[in-house]
Amino acid sequence: MNQGFGIQEVDSGVDDVAPLGEAMRLDGSASATPARARREGIGTDPATPEIRFVARYLERDWPDIGQLEEADVDRQAQRFRGGVNNWIIQTYLHLKEALGERGVAVSIGETFKPGVVNLAHRDSLNRWLLPYFRCYIVGVRADRPPVVVCDWEILQNQVRSCGPTQSAIPFWPQPGLVARDPGRGSRIERIAYFGRTGTATSWLVQPEFHEALARLGVQFEIREHAWFDYSDIDLVLAHRQEAPTMLLQKPASKLINAWHAGVPALLGDEPAYRALRRSDLDYVRIDSAEDVLAAVRRLKSDPLLYHSMVHRGMVRAVDFTVERIRQLWLDCLCNQALPDAQRRRPPNVLAGWASQQKKLLLQKAQSRWFKYRYARERAARRQDTATF
């Protein structure tokens, strides 16, 4: 089957354990008030299949979650930044109606709910004394190391083949995306980098690179805030100075969003992009500032090639619409996770705790190894920084 990264985990010491039979908060305490219980869906009929979406800081960041509907993903696009907001909140809004139509109860809260399928980001799955074993957990790896403590793992790219309890589901398309104005035709006057610049290649900000583009009649822009607006952009540029260990986890979002926006993309050689490449028209691979300039010259001199790339992107984007990704989620949750959860018998408490501690030990060991490799690779790349 067919998704910010600071290299940091949620792991803040010793937690209290929620009493048996109560919902488990991410801070380790039991869910407290009847009002919260009603809002978060605690007490749902156990005979009804249920999917529980678990989101850290829900009450702080999304106090209006009960009033939001799917259309608000586009209407409030600026709120959907960061892993939990996109993987949990956005997925909840896209799926809650469709799951309900299939007879699945849906709830969302800051707690894990025993006895049902819980969907959580890896940042919520790293606490020693939360009894995860009492839940069936679908864990979203995102940009992190593997999620060992979950029962089913979601991967955000197709770089590796999925194991028997894994699904590869792409990141949702950019909320509120404004496509390129088709009236711009094949002109190439503005090229943009979309997103945060923490790992962007150094030559992207060098004056010499900007001056070379200006001599070709092209303005370069870093669009870090209006990252959803492609209306006046003629080419997308993305090239990171990032550790290979991290790139293996990254999604192909910049490519997929460019396809949806109708803008040809010039991209670095990342595993997630390579996994989706079917044709030279999918994107232009670039490894240096000189490659960017050569691509700009070629596309400016060949309007037919430019239009061919735009058309190709429209064809490829069909496989990454909200509806297609929703179907992948529904297949994963309804046809795989829920049946798998129903087949499992609740573990003995002592056996459950023992199994969970082993899984967390392995998860934390893999995390330390991931961080070690990441730090070593980043240090090596800093010593070999490319200049224009």
What's the pLDDT tens digit per position in 90-100? 999 999 999 99
- The confidence band for 383, taking pLDDT boundaries of 50, 70 and 90, is low
The C-alpha torsion from 167 through 137 and 50 to 321, rounded to 10°, is -30
Q: What percent of the chain has pLDDT over 70?
A: 86
Q: What is the mean pLDDT of residues 205-226?
A: 94
Q: What is the mean pLDDT of residues 291-310?
A: 98
**Separation CA 237–CA 257 (nearest Å):** 12
Q: What is the mean pLDDT of residues 152-164?
A: 92
pLDDT at 113 over 80: yes
> Is pLDDT larger for residue 314 or for residue 380?
314
Which pLDDT score is estimated for 348? 86
Separation in Å, CA 354 to CA 89, 129, 346: 32, 11, 14
pTM for the whole structure: 0.85
Which residues are within 8 A (CB) of 387 and not within 5 positions of it... i.e. 6 or more apart? 202, 203, 206
What rounded mean pLDDT belongs to the chain? 87
Q: What is the mean pLDDT of residues 327-339?
A: 97
- The confidence band for 217, taking pLDDT boundaries of 50, 70 and 90, is very high
**Separation CA 183–CA 339 (nearest Å):** 50
The C-alpha torsion from 357 through 360 and 362 to 364, rounded to 10°, is -140
Task: For residue range 52-68, list pLDDT tens digits in order.
Answer: 999 989 999 999 999 99
pLDDT at 385 over 80: no
pLDDT at 321 over 80: yes
* Highest mean pLDDT: which range of 5-19, 198-212, 372-386: 198-212
Which pLDDT score is estimated for 35? 41
- The confidence band for 345, taking pLDDT boundaries of 50, 70 and 90, is confident
Please provide the DSSP assignment of 279-333 as one string: STTS-EE--SHHHHHHHHHHHHH-HHHHHHHHHHHHHHHGGGSHHHHHHHHHHHI
**Separation CA 272–CA 160 (nearest Å):** 10
129 and 28 in contact (C-beta within 8 Å)? Answer: yes
pLDDT at 360 over 80: yes
pLDDT at 29 over 80: no
Which pLDDT score is estimated for 252? 95
Q: Phi, psi (5° rounding) for residue 289?
A: -60, -40
pLDDT at 26 over 70: no
**Separation CA 71–CA 115 (nearest Å):** 31
Task: For residue range 219-265, list pLDDT tens digits in order.
Answer: 999 998 888 999 999 999 999 988 899 999 999 999 999 999 999 99
> Is pLDDT larger for residue 268 or for residue 5?
268
- The confidence band for 22, taking pLDDT boundaries of 50, 70 and 90, is very low
Task: For residue range 123-146, list pLDDT tens digits in order.
Answer: 999 999 899 999 999 999 999 999
Which pLDDT score is estimated for 34? 37
55 and 88 in contact (C-beta within 8 Å)? Answer: yes
pLDDT at 368 over 80: yes
